[in-house]
Amino acid sequence: MIEIRDLSLHLGEFNLKNINLAIRDGEYFVILGPTGAGKTVLLECVAGLHRFKKGAIFFDAADVTRLVPEERSLGYVPQDYVLFPFLNVSDNIAFGLKQSRISAAEIRERVNEIAGILGISLLLRRDTRSLSGGEKQRVALARALAPSPHTLLLDEPLSALDLRTAKSLRLELKRIHHQLGLTTIHITHDLMEALEMADRVAVVQDGRVEQVAEPEAMLFYPDGDKVADFIGSPNILDCDYSRNLGQGVMEVGCGSLKLTVAHEGADIKKVAILPRHIYVSETRPPGLSVNGFQGLITAIEPTSNIVKISLDVAGKALMSEIPTYIFDEMDLVVGQEVFLILRMRRIRIYESNR
Amino acid sequence: MFRILKGASGERIFRTATISALVLLALFFIGIIVSLLAYTKWDTFISALGSSEILSAIRLSLMTATIAAIISMLIAVPVAYAISRSSFPGKDIVDSLLDLPIVVSPVALGAALLVFFNTPLGSAIDDNILKFVFSVPGIVLAQVTVISALAIRLLKSTFDGIDPRYEQVARTLGCSKPEAFFRVTLPLARDGVIASTLLTWARAVGEFGATVMLAGATAMKTETLPTAIFLSLASADVEKAIAVIFVLILIAVAALLIIRKTVGRRYHV
C-alpha cells in the first residue's frame, strides 16, 4: 500500500495542495487531470525526485519521505521514455539490474524474460534511436520492470503514441498488470483511458484531489462541479429493465430508448455515454445501425473547437459534441430532424443500487 | 533605410555582401600562409626544424600542454557540472568570475600570478612545495590558469544540453547520485568532453602571454613553441620562427581533425 498524507509542494508553476491518497496493493490506480494540474509532480514525489517539507509518503507502514529514489525500488516510466541513447535496447533493460549484485548470466536471463513478456525479444540488439514510439515505450517499461519493483509509475504512457499503438499498448499494460500483479500508478489527461484502465481513479485539478472513486462511480456521480466539468457532463440514462441477449450483449430500456450494450452481468441501473460518442448525421447511416435513432435538434452551441448539439430523442434529452471542422461541413440547424448513433462500445454501465 | 534591399534584389545583394566577407577573410588567411611559404628557404627550414632547440621546444610544449589539459579537465568537469546543475545564491557572480580568464589578457593573468608568488604565501609555496617562478611547473600553471575557464565554458554548455531526467531515471533504477553521474551523465557528455579536452590542449600549446610572464623565456629551459617564435624573431632568425609557426599550425590542424573524426559534426564549438 502506498499512502500519501497531507502532501503540499510549491514548485515553479505547480502547486500541490494537501494531497491525501491511498493506493492499495495490486491496484491499477489512475490519476486523471488536465495538463498542468500537477499530476507529474505528484508522481515524481512518489518516486522521490522532489524534496518537500509538508506531508509524508508511506510504503506499507514505512515512512519513505526522506528516502532517495534508489532506495524506493519503484519502476518509473517518464512521459517521453528517456531511454539512454548510448546503450542499445538490451543494455537499457539491463541498466537497473547491473546495480544489483547479480551475475552477468542472470542479468541476460532476466533481460530475455522481460523482453519476452513485452514482446520485444527481436529488438534487443537495436539502437534505441531507431525505435518507433510504441517500441520505445515497451523498452522503457521493460527497463523499469527488470529490477522487479513493487510499484510501477507511468507518466502519460500512451499520450505520445498514435491511436492504434496506444490502443494495443493499453491492452498490453492491463495484461502485464494482471500477469505481474504489480501496483500501478498511471497518470493521464484522457478520460477514456482512465475509464478503461483504472481500478480506481483520482481526479486531480489545480493541485488538489477532487475525487477518488471507481471509474463508474466517478462517471455517474461526479463529486462537485470541477469533476463534472472535466468529465464533460455525460448523458446519463436511468434504465427500466435490462435483458441478456447472450454473447456479451445486453439490451436495456431507458424510457423510450432501447439500447444494445456490450455487457454481461447483473441488472443495469444506469447507462452513460459521453457527448463525443454520439454521432450526428443528416442522412440515414448506411448498413445495420446498432443504437441508431432519429431525433430533433433543440439547440446548437458552438465553443472554441467543438460544437455542442442538444437533441430530443423520443422525449429524452441527449447532448452530442462534434468537432467544429466536421460541423462546418454539415448543414445543421435548430429544429432539424437528424440521425444519431450511440457508439455501443463507448456506453458505460452502472450496476449497483445507489 | 533598408527599403532598397527589399525583394529578390535585396536578397541577392545581402547574399553577395555576406559571401564577399567570407571570401575576403579566406583570402587574408591564404595570403598569410602563402607569404610564409614564399619566404621560407626549405633547406634552412629543415635544419631549423631538426635543431635541438626546436625539438626540445616541441617536447616541452607537448608535455606541458598535455599535463595542463588533464589538470584543467579534472577541475572543469566538477565545476561545470556544479554550475550547470545547482543553484545557489551568488551563482551568477561566480559564473561571471569564472569567465574572467577568457576575457582578461593572458599577459595580465601571468603577471598577476607572478605577483602572487611574491606574496608571503606565494613565496612559501614556491620555496617549499613546488617551484613555479621561472620553471617548468610555472608553464603548466600559467596554461591551466588560461585554459581552465575555456574548459569550464565548453563543458557547461555540454552539461546544460543533457536533460537532468536521464539522471533521475537512473536514480529510480538504483543508482546513487555519483553512480548516476558516472553511468549516465558522463557517457552522455562524452563528445563534449573529448572536444573540450582537445581544444583546451591546443589552446595550451599556443599559450604565450601568461607563460612568458611566470616561467620566463629561457632558451632550452622554459622555451615552449610560442616562446621559441618570440626568441627566434628577437634574434632575427626568421627561418627558425617560420619553422615553429608551421609546427604550431600543424598541431592545431591535427587537433581540429581529431575532433572532427571522433566527435564528428555532432559537436560544434
Is a pLDDT exceeding 90 seen at residue A135? yes
Q: Which three cell numbers stand for residue A256?
A: 423510450
Predicted pLDDT of residue A345: 83
d(CA B254, CA B240): 21
In-domain check, residue B34: no
Q: Which amino acid is at A122?
A: L
What cell was used for B251?
598541431
Q: Is A289 left (phi over 0), alpha (psi -120 to 50) or beta?
A: beta
Q: What is the spatial distance between Cα B21 and Cα A354, in angstroms, rounded to a whole number? A: 81
Decide if pLDDT at A15 tops 90. no
Q: Minimal Cα–Cα distance from B153 to chain A, Å?
A: 24
Rounded to an integer, the average pLDDT of A198-218 is: 92
pLDDT digits (tens, 9 = 90+) for B92-128: 898 888 888 889 999 999 999 999 999 999 999 988 8
The yes-or-no verdict on residue A123 having pLDDT over 90 is yes
d(CA A348, CA A231): 13
Residue A315 has pLDDT above 70, yes or no: yes
Which amino acid does the sequence have at B201? Answer: W
C-beta atoms of A72 and B163 within 8 A = no
The confidence band for A330, taking pLDDT boundaries of 50, 70 and 90, is confident
Amino acid in position B117? F
- B184 and A68 within 8 Å at the Cβ level: the answer is no
Number of neighbours of residue B16 by Cβ within 10 angstroms: 10
Q: Which residues of B touch A85 (CB under 8 A)?
A: 188
Only one residue has cell 532517495, namely A68
CATH number at residue B124: 1.10.3720.10
| Domain A2-231 indexed as CATH 3.40.50.300 | yes
Instruction: Look at residue B214 in the predicted model and tell me its pLDDT.
Output: 94
User: Which candidate from B163, B174, B179 shows the least CB-CB separation from A147?
Assistant: B174
Per-residue model confidence (pLDDT) at position A248:
84
Residues on A contacting B at a C-beta cutoff of 8 Å = 44, 47-49, 68-70, 72-76, 78, 82, 84-86, 95-96, 99-100, 143-144, 147
Whether B215 is in a domain gets the answer yes
Predicted pLDDT of residue A354: 42
pTM of the model: 0.81
Cα separation, B237 vs B223, in Å, equals 15
For cell 579534472, name the residue. B74
- The per-residue pLDDT for range A96-111, each reduced to its tens digit, is 999 988 899 999 999 9
**Partners of residue A4 on adjacent β-strands:** A21, A57
Closest to B156 in 3D by CA, of B108, B95, B204:
B95
| Alpha-carbon gap, residue A69 to A49, rounded angstroms | 6
| Residue whose grid cell is 499512502 | A3
User: What's the pLDDT score for residue B265?
Assistant: 57
Residue ranges covered by each domain of chain A: 2-231, 237-350
**CB distance B188–A86 less than 8 Å?**
yes
Q: In terms of residue numbers, what domain contains B139?
A: 42-266
Mutation target vs B (from A49, A72, A100, A136; most B CBs, 10 A cutoff): A49
pLDDT over 50 (residue A322): yes
Neighbours of A63 (CB within 10 A): 12
Fill in the amino acid letter for B257.
L
The partner residue sitting opposite B174, judged by closest CB among A82, A84, A99, is A99
Q: Which residues of chain B have pLDDT under 50?
A: 268-269
Question: Smallest CA–CA separation between B176 and chain A, in Å?
Answer: 6
Per-residue model confidence (pLDDT) at position B269: 45
According to CATH, the topology of domain A237-350 is OB fold (Dihydrolipoamide Acetyltransferase, E2P) (2.40.50)
Number of domains in chain B: 1
Which chain B residues are within 8 Å of A76, Cβ to Cβ? 168-169, 172
B interface with A, Cβ–Cβ < 8 A, is 163, 165-166, 168-177, 179, 183-184, 187-188, 190
**Contacts of residue B173 in chain A, CB cutoff 8 Å?**
70, 95-96, 99, 143-144, 147
In a domain, B141, yes or no: yes
Share of chain A above pLDDT 90, in %: 49
Which residue in the block uniquely carries the three cell numbers 527497463?
A: A143
Q: Is residue B239 part of a domain?
A: yes
Q: Closest approach of chain B CAs to the CA of A255, in angstroms?
A: 54
A82:B166 CB<8 A:
yes
Supply the pLDDT for residue B194: 92
Is A82 within 8 Å of B188 when comparing Cβ atoms? no
User: How many whole angstroms separate alpha carbon A190 and alpha carbon A201?
Assistant: 12
In chain A, which residues have their Cβ closer than 8 Å to the Cβ of B158?
Answer: none
Distance from CA of B165 to the nearest CA of A (A): 7
Q: How many CB atoms lie within 10 A of CB B212?
A: 21
SS3 string, chain B, reads CCHHHCHHHHHHHHHHHHHHHHHHHHHHHHHHHHHHHHHCCHHHHHHHHHCHHHHHHHHHHHHHHHHHHHHHHHHHHHHHHHHHHCCCCCHHHHHHHHHHHHHCCHHHHHHHHHHHCCCHHHHHHHHHCCCCCCCHHHHHHHHHHHHHHHHHHHHHHHHHCCCCHHHHHHHHCCCCHHHHHHHHHHHHCHHHHHHHHHHHHHHHHCCCHHHHHHHCCCCCCCCCHHHHHHHHHHCCCHHHHHHHHHHHHHHHHHHHHHHHHHHHHHCCC
On whether the CB atoms of residues A35 and A189 are closer than 8 A, the answer is yes
ipTM > 0.85? no
Predicted confidence (pLDDT) per residue in B229-264, tens digit: 999 999 888 888 888 998 899 888 898 888 888 876
Inform me whether the pLDDT recorded for A352 exceeds 70: no
